[in-house]
Amino acid sequence: MNHKLLMDTAVLAGEIMLCSGAETYRVEDTMCHILKTSECESIEAFALMTGIVTTINDETMDQPITTVKTINERSTNLNNIIKVNEISRRYCGGKISLEEAYEQLKCVKEKQYSRAVFNIATAAIATGFAMMFGGSVIDVMAATMVGFWLAACIMLGKMIRINSIFVDIFSCAGIAMITMAVKTFLVPTLNMDIVIVSAIMPIVPGVAITNAIRDTLQGDYLSGCARILEAFLKAASIAIGAGIGMALFNMLIGGGII
């Protein structure tokens, strides 16, 4: 067996899952199942939010093989997690070869949707929440408009590689200012609460909080605490951004900060 290719396959699977928002215990379990097909005596797989460490060793090997992979970007993509799990099960079940598993995992890593589809979906989420919260037609239209603003900010942040916290602050400040401007100058009856809350829903860290709890319950306290901190920072950046936007708009129209 090509042990190097096996390690590359396991690490690639773990990397895709971590980057897609999977729990660390699920990542470790998937990598261990892949590595166990080597039938080596010693198999170790350790995953954190920011990196992966895997090691295999056997008496037939001259020396252990260890691989370290850093994870710099994380998002939420449940479809990628499902695909990796399916490929892992098929490989461990002997339905595909190691080479086929590695090639299929490389295809999973590619982008699933275009930027246009992503932007439309982001705006559609804001639209859907505005409807769910009982907003009027004007509220729904305003939520769609600021939803496209959020999508543009996210896309711009990825293009120029700005820290996600600053992207959240800037985008939420824009959401608040645009909503207040529409209410002040165009539609006095606009429900600002519905529009603003609906627009920020696509970036609310719900999955991060859920994974933090699941990691903690599994005994992965380090990853659990890290995810809780990440979720707290994201929630704080959303609140700070919205507050800054409201304060700036009030200053611009001469109403003071409050």
Report whether 155 contacts 147 (CB < 8 A): no
Three-state DSSP state, 103: helix
Residue 197 in this model has a pLDDT that exceeds 90: yes
Can you tell me the mean pLDDT for 218-231? 82
pLDDT given for residue 219 in this prediction:
79
Q: Which amino acid, 32?
A: C
pLDDT in tens, 138-149: 999 999 999 999
Q: Fill in the DSSP letter of residue 140.
A: H
Residue whose entry in the numeric block shows the structure tokens 């209410």: 183
pLDDT in tens, 169-188: 999 999 999 999 998 888 88
Of 65, 12, 67, residue with least CA distance to 34: 12
- Domain map of the chain by residue range? 3-108, 115-252
Report whether 164 contacts 75 (CB < 8 A): no
Count Cβ neighbours within 10 Å for each residue of 155-166 and write b for 16 or more, e otherwise: eebeeeeeebbe
